[in-house]
Amino acid sequence: MIDAARAAGRRLTRDFGEVENLQVSRKGPSDFVSQADRKAEEIIFERLAKARPGYGFLMEERGFVEGSDKSHRFIVDPLDGTLNFLHGIPHFAVSIGLQRDGKLRAGVVYDVMRNEMFWAETDEGCWLENRRLRVSARRKLSEAVVATGIPQLGVDGFDLFVDEMVSVRNEVSAIRRFGSAALDLAWVAAGRFDGFWERGLQQWDVAAGFLLVQEAGGTVIGLNKGDPMTGSFAAGNPSLAPKLIERIEGTVPAKKSTTSPLLRPK
């Protein structure tokens, strides 16, 4: 998975240097796909399919690819932060997760422009290259810097997001929005962000990042009694994540939150 992420990253680096020459097709308002996405995904697919014949895939561009091995599936986002990429903003990542029998077992998030490889395996911890990572130790929201994602043009939920942001902003030190959920989660695992929340993401955006956070000692909690893998969640250390949930759910009908059945409990 690390080898495949680095190979895709090399392709993205070359394309990023020629971003103005990319042929870009439009999938929807503010939702673009470029040649870079497809080339990177093809590299990842070819390498992983060769290394693990029979494994299935869930990929942003290809969708579901059934494998003869029904127990294993790779979940791949070849370019998380496409809009950043297409605007020449050097903040995007390759994200690869692996499920075994429906449980997340390994994850890789590669920050291409910073050449930072975040990875985790079940019971093996979370790492930045060869350095062990832990979530932040802060316990007070007033000291926390949290990240989020703002709904883009054409995506529902902006009014709810504004209400949530106001509620959270009244409690935390600061809010950041960088444009790559995979990297936001990796930075939570590294203790750079104290928490992160968003709604409406896809599995390929979050699968690898969820395991990074968990193996770094953090927790991922679904919003409004939902499964985090449906894309609406908050993440952080075990002290701050529930407090963040309380602030967010205070803007909508409150229900008990739950951790995903796909996340192995400690």
* pLDDT of 27: 65
pLDDT of res. 253: 41
**What are the structure tokens assigned to 109, written together?**
């998030």
Rounded to two decimals, the pTM is: 0.89
| pLDDT given for residue 263 in this prediction | 53
CATH tag, 2-132: 3.30.540.10
Supply 6's token pair: 């680095």
The predicted pLDDT at position 182 comes to 98
CATH architecture for segment(s) 141-249? 3-Layer(aba) Sandwich (3.40)
Beta-bridge partners for 45: none
Residues of the chain with CATH 3.30.540.10: 2-132
Instruction: Give bridge partners of residue 120 from the DSSP assignment.
Output: 107, 126
Instruction: Give the number of residues written for the chain.
Output: 266
Enumerate residues 6+ apart whose C-beta is below 8 A from 162: none
CA distance 48 to 45: 5
Q: What is the pLDDT of residue 261?
A: 45
Residue 156: predicted pLDDT: 81
For the chain, which residues score pLDDT lower than 70? 20-23, 26-33, 251-266
Q: Which residues pair with 98 in a beta bridge?
A: 74, 106
- Structure confidence at residue 66 (pLDDT): 94
**CATH 3.40.190.80 residue spans of the chain:** 141-249
**pLDDT tens-digit series, residues 17-68:** 887 666 677 666 555 667 889 999 999 999 999 999 999 999 988 899 999 9
Contacts of 191 (CB under 8 A, 6+ apart): 133, 134, 135, 136, 137, 216
Q: State the pLDDT at residue 61.
A: 85
Given this model, what pLDDT does residue 33 score? Answer: 67
Please classify residue 102 by burial: count the beta carbons closer than 10 Å to its beta carbon, then call 0-12 exposed, 13-18 middle and 19+ buried.
exposed
